[in-house]
Amino acid sequence: MYTILVSFFIPNRYLLCKITLLFLNKTRVGDKFCDSVCPSRKKVLILFPIMESLLNENQIEQLRQLVSQSQHTVVCCHVNPDGDAVGSVLAIVHCLRRLGHETTAIVPTPFPDFLDWMPGADDIVVYSKQVEEAKLLIEKADLFVVADLNDPSRLADMQECVMGNPAPKILIDHHLDPFDFCQLNVSHPELCATCEILCHLFWQLGEMDKLTPEEATCLYAGMMCDTGGFTYASNRPVIYECISLLLSRGIDKDKIYRNVFWTSTPNRLKLMGYMLFVKMKVLRKMNTCIMTLTNEERYRFGSKNGDTEGFVNLPLQIMGMRLSIFLNEDTEHPEVVRVSLRSVDDFPCNEMAAQFFNGGGHKNASGGRLQCTMEEAVRVAQKAIQAYSALLK
Ligand code: 5GP
Ligand code: MN
């Protein structure tokens, strides 16, 4: 979908045309001699839309109606929220409040401390800690926006309450295989983060020019977290169009990076050292690493919620490693082992997660859970590695 303009090959007029289009700021301008369009070899300007229009006219109308008819919106996301989940929830809440809507953010369980700095994080209601307050807000809600999750079961203990309220629901998500439980589905697994979907939506709805620095910061943080600081799932050029627009809305991307990836506590660094030195098992023949962490070890290091975030990525720095498995005893349910999987290239973590760990996710970053002891979880992981040995060796 692009427009082709033929301009006269007079340098000044051509330049003027190009500068004007750049100022319009709605299109990316390319140019080339295009013999089929213009056999006389006049220069041709090609206008690519900068951003993607994700909704059709009906969906835009439906979205506007759902939002304008609501008195109180609840915005929620998946259990154990990550940066993209918190970023998308907060960006939506800030935007709706700016437009005059009463809106509350509710997350099923606490988010990691390294997201505390995010604008509006203090106002988030955590269901597992504020059950009564959260239930009242959910019962009162007449619209839900469900961000960064593809299945109501990812709402964990909040699921029953949210699904028990018949109010309309809007899904905004980038996970594969979305479950059909919302009136409006904005599902785009090809995009790097739910926050990227929101960038395109805000652009399409004419909100991009009005974003506050706080909203833009939440969107950037979400995209940055889901791409490991733009080091994976981040090769699509339009991602950098989004970033360019967010920079023009006043974000400090260097500070956001420091806040998320370069802020630690002594205890976290000591735990990381222990995990790498003592707990990392390298299965050379399988190009796989396994790490385990029990609650007893966590307490020994005075570890806090979120301290292990990112640990699963570390073994993939070892040359040739294709898969990293992190088995993490759940702090709130000690009989549950949470599983994190990360891979490089084409290894399908999500298939392994679905087949062996009751989970799913993205090709290179997935997760799941096992209801068993750590010893049994290690045996399941070994079975999974064997089953996928042809893809790992
Ligand atoms: P993490 O390892 O950071 O907990 O999760 C990585 C990704 O895996 C998440 O962004 C999510 O897409 C997916 N994931 C994690 N746990 C589950 C789960 O229990 N079920 C499903 N379907 N996906 C999960
Ligand atoms: Mn996400």
For the stretch 297-343, pLDDT in tens is 999 999 877 889 999 999 999 999 999 999 999 988 889 999 999 99
Alpha carbons 152 and 248: distance in angstroms, whole number: 36
pLDDT per residue as tens digits for the range 235-275: 999 999 999 999 999 999 999 999 999 999 999 999 999 99
Same domain flag for 198 and 98: yes
State residue 249 phi and psi, 5-degree precision. -95, 5
Distance CA 55, CA 39 (A): 37
Q: Is the pLDDT of residue 172 over 90?
A: yes
The total of structural domains in the chain comes to: 3
Same domain, 175 and 256: yes
Is residue 176 domain-shared with residue 207, that is, in the same domain?
yes
CA 85 / ligand 2 centre spacing (Å): 6
pLDDT for the residue numbered 9: 47
Residue nearest to atom 24 of ligand 1 (CA): 367
SS3 105: strand
The DSSP symbol for 108 reads S
- What's the confidence (pLDDT) of residue 6? 45
Q: Do 334 and 380 lie in a common domain?
A: yes
For residue 101, what are the domain limits? Answer: 57-261
Strand order in the sheet with 169-173: 125-126, 102-107, 72-76, 143-147, 169-173, 184-187
Q: Kindly state the greatest CA–CA separation across the chain.
A: 77
Residues 74 and 41 in one domain: no
How high is the pLDDT of residue 369? 96
- The answer on 276 and 137 residing in a single domain is no
pLDDT tens digits along 93-152: 999 999 999 999 999 999 998 999 999 999 999 999 999 999 999 999 999 999 999 999
Query: Is it the case that residue 5 has pLDDT exceeding 90?
Result: no
Closest C-alpha residue for ligand 1 atom 20: 359
Mean of all residue pLDDT scores within the chain: 91
More confident residue, 164 or 3: 164
**Residue 283 maps to which CATH number?**
3.10.310.30
Identify the pLDDT of residue 334. Answer: 83
Residue 75 clears pLDDT 60, i.e. is over it: yes
> Which residue out of 336, 366, 369, 370 has the highest number of ligand 1 atoms within 8 Å of its CB and is therefore the one to mutate?
366
The residues lining ligand 1, judged by C-beta closer than 6 Å to any ligand atom, are 82, 175, 312, 340, 359-362, 365-369
φ, ψ at 146 (rounded to 5°): -110, 115
Residue 274 sits in the same domain as residue 357: yes
At residue 347, φ and ψ (nearest 5 deg) are: -70, 125
